[in-house]
């Protein structure tokens, strides 16, 4: 049976070398919204199933939101994770009630959110200045009745769940103000649920703001959110929920390229920091293999790995604001919830160690681990061309916009002593990759 490490290596192999990088990046963001995790006791050994769930997110990354939500709902992986598998209708004689877990989370996390939002992502407030809830306990209970009877017979958890009509509640229900007549097929009920959630006024702003935070900035302006939400509501052809159009709206918005760093910035997730380093340095596996084989110290180094969240609420919360300058300015920095001093030490030690591999024989590295290629950097230093070195660093890691202050620090630390170009690369490149300029993704073209 494949182990978790095998799945993570396969994920890395795709992240390093696959041609569809944008799709993979969007799927990774979606995996932190529609969370299912192999930290769950029922899924810890279901490696193939977890890989299949990742494939599901990739498949729908540029598709339709309702189809994605439906696929997630009927995924046996999600069914196991949020205990919808085998959910039975209530029985007054025994006191049995339908499981409410998935009914709660599909509203809170996958669609409308806890509180009602305006189109710009801001919360709607009641007369007392408090956010207005999106749903009630009754909505959860009624929706749980709709999610009864769904089960699977596939031990690999790859085939969508089907409904067992004996276990399905066929009574009349009412969810979010929508009436569900009695005795309609479970499949039709599910379709009506998806339509209801798709068109709920809070789904578009809640989902879009969350996706923006995963991709471009932790603190999007209300106008930025509104523009993306408007595309979710209508892609220009009258279609609501077109994810391809939404992704384009997020990444192509003018504000992404003109807003100041305070507005257009986010902390790099630890996991994505390592992926960025490896990709920029043309990583290749050694030991005569063609795919990633090495065991990354992902748990200790990054406090995260794909589909390994400690809970359905992801690795971090979208509204997390560390005390100090972030909170004082009424901003959020979600990723900092999993970053502490021990993580910073682990991550920087890891980066320093992987740069040491540039001293190995690049033509025939012997171990089954990842080797980076820094030959272009070494050539600059062999020619004592620190300016060329900085330009190479800027192009690969900073989109050609490395701050002058960091360039000056690198220049000041290069004293020309002959310790070998490889060791100089390790030291100077480490300065760049340990800097906050690298670990904070921001617009530097403003």
pLDDT at 284: 86
Closest CA to 425 of 383, 374, 390: 374
pLDDT at 295: 55
Packing angle of the helix pair 203-215, 21-31 (nearest 10 deg): 120
pLDDT, tens digit, for every residue of 14-45? 999 999 999 999 999 999 999 999 999 999 99
Give the E-state strand segments of 248-347 in sequence order.
Answer: 265-267, 284-285
Q: Which residue has the tokens 């009695």?
A: 182
How many Cβ atoms sit within 10 Å of the Cβ of residue 144?
A: 24
The two structure tokens encoding residue 275: 């992926």
pLDDT at 305: 92
Band (pLDDT 50/70/90 cuts) for residue 3 is confident
CA 378, 382, 386, 388 dihedral sign is negative
* DSSP one-letter code for 122: P
- Asked whether 151 and 236 are in contact (CB, 8 A), the reply is no
What share of the chain has pLDDT > 90, as a percent? Answer: 80
pLDDT at 361: 55
pLDDT, tens digit, for every residue of 40-59? 999 999 999 999 999 999 99
Q: Which residue has the tokens 């049995």?
A: 96
Mention every residue, 6+ apart, whose C-beta is less than 8 A from residue 41: none
The total number of residues written for the chain in this structure: 446
Q: Which residue has the tokens 């320093």?
A: 352
| Mean pLDDT computed over every residue of the chain | 92
pLDDT at 317: 96
Q: Which residue stretches of 125-242 are H helix?
A: 137-146, 186-199, 203-215, 222-233
pLDDT at 324 over 90: yes
Whole-number Å distance between alpha carbons of 354 and 274: 10
pTM to 2 decimal places: 0.94
Distance of CA 431 to the CA centre of its chain: 27
pLDDT at 360: 54
Burial of residue 63 (number of CB atoms within 10 Å: 0-12, 13-18, 19+): middle
Question: Up-side HSE of residue 296: CA atoms within 13 Å toward CB?
Answer: 30
Band (pLDDT 50/70/90 cuts) for residue 262 is confident
How many Cβ atoms sit within 10 Å of the Cβ of residue 9?
A: 19
pLDDT at 60: 98
Band (pLDDT 50/70/90 cuts) for residue 341 is confident
- Asked whether 444 and 398 are in contact (CB, 8 A), the reply is yes
- Asked whether 410 and 431 are in contact (CB, 8 A), the reply is yes
Burial of residue 188 (number of CB atoms within 10 Å: 0-12, 13-18, 19+): exposed
pLDDT at 446: 42
The two structure tokens encoding residue 423: 């060791």
pLDDT at 162 over 80: yes
pLDDT at 363: 61
pLDDT at 301: 72
Closest CA to 411 of 436, 437, 381: 381
Whole-number Å distance between alpha carbons of 222 and 156: 44
pLDDT at 435 over 60: yes
pLDDT, tens digit, for every residue of 95-111? 999 999 999 999 999 99
Strands 265-267 and 173-175: unpaired
Question: Up-side HSE of residue 347: CA atoms within 13 Å toward CB?
Answer: 26
């Amino acid at each position: 049976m494949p182990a978790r490490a095998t799945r993570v290596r396969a994920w890395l192999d795709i992240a390093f070398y696959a041609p569809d990088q944008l799709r993979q990046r969007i799927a990774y963001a979606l995996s932190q919204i529609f969370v299912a995790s192999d930290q769950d006791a029922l899924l810890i050994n279901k490696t193939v199933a977890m890989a299949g769930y990742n494939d599901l997110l990739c498949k729908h990354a540029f598709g339709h939101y309702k189809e994605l939500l439906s696929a997630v709902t009927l995924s046996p992986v999600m069914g196991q994770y949020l205990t919808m598998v085998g959910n039975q209708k209530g029985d007054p004689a025994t006191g049995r009630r339908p499981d409410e877990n998935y009914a709660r989370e599909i509203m809170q996390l996958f669609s409308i959110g806890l509180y009602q939002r305006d189109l710009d992502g801001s919360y709607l407030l009641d007369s007392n200045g408090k956010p207005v809830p999106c749903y009630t306990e009754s909505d959860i209970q009624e929706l749980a009745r709709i999610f009864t009877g769904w089960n699977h017979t596939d031990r690999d958890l790859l085939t969508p769940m089907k409904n067992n009509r004996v276990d399905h509640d066929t009574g009349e229900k009412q969810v979010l103000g929508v009436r569900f007549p009695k005795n309609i097929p479970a499949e039709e009920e599910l379709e009506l649920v998806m339509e209801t959630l798709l068109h709920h006024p809070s789904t578009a702003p809640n989902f879009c703001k969350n996706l923006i935070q995963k991709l471009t900035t932790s603190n999007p302006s209300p106008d930025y959110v509104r523009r993306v939400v408007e595309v979710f509501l209508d892609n220009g052809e009258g279609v609501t929920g077109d994810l391809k159009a939404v992704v384009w709206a997020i990444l192509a918005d003018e504000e992404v390229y003109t807003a100041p760093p305070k507005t257009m910035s986010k902390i790099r997730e630890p996991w994505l920091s390592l992926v960025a380093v490896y990709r920029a340095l043309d990583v290749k596996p050694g030991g005569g293999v063609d795919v990633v084989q090495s065991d990354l110290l992902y748990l200790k180094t990054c406090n995260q790995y794909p589909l390994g969240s400690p809970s359905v609420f992801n690795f971090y919360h979208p509204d997390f604001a560390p005390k100090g300058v972030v909170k004082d300015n009424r901003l959020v920095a979600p990723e900092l919830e999993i970053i502490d001093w021990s993580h910073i030490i682990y991550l920087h030690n890891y980066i320093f160690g992987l740069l040491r591999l540039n001293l190995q024989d690049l033509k025939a590295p012997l171990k089954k681990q990842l080797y980076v290629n820094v030959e272009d950097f070494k050539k600059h230093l062999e020619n004592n061309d620190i300016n060329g070195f900085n330009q190479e660093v800027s192009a690969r890691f900073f989109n050609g916009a490395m701050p002058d202050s960091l360039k000056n620090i690198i220049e000041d630390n290069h004293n020309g002593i002959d310790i070998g170009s490889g060791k100089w690369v390790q030291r100077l490149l480490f300065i760049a990759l340990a800097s906050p300029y690298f670990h904070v993704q921001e617009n530097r073209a403003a």
